[in-house]
Amino acid sequence: MRGTYHFNGDEEIKVILRAVDEIAFIPYLELWEKVDYKKVREEIRRTIKVLNGEMAFDDSVIKEREESINEALEGVKPHDLLLKCWICGERFTFSIGEQNFYKSKGFKYSKRCNDCRNERDDEFFYKQ
């Protein structure tokens, strides 16, 4: 009977929508295959075969990509920074401990060396 489809749940709907998406992409992949370079064409052919169910999906690429993303997210390990004072122009070390303190308080990196910072603090406290 036409138009009397009943779905047993969200999973069936997701499967149908995924199939529609896959079918929609295959024509684009086939067009790109004619245009791009040899390695790209090979990858496109492989993707088309996977989407058509002619070839098993290799999830090792996803695992490699996840590992590289996790590595990038870890970032550079904390280390002392050498900054230039905005007042006197001298270089000073901004230690890991100071960086953590500033970060915990929501402050930006220090713009002044300890001497200039102390001098400014003295002026502030003793002028009043």
Interval 22-49: pLDDT, tens: 666 677 667 766 665 677 677 778 888 8
Delimit the domains of the chain by residue range. 10-74, 81-127
Task: Look at the alpha carbons of 18, 23, 24, 25 in this order and tell me if their dihedral is positive or negative.
Answer: positive
Instruction: Report mean pLDDT in 10-residue bins for the chain, 128 residues.
Output: 52 66 67 67 79 80 78 76 93 92 90 89 66
pLDDT at 92: 94
Please give the pLDDT value at position 120: 78
Nearest to 99 by CA among 110, 90, 89, 91: 110
In this prediction, residue 2 carries a pLDDT of 46
Q: H-helix or E-strand containing 82? A: strand 81-84
pLDDT at 79: 86
Say how far apart CA 81 and CA 87 lie, in whole Å. 18
Q: What is the pTM of this model?
A: 0.38
Backbone angles phi, psi at 85, to 5 degrees: -70, 135
Per-residue pLDDT at 88: 94
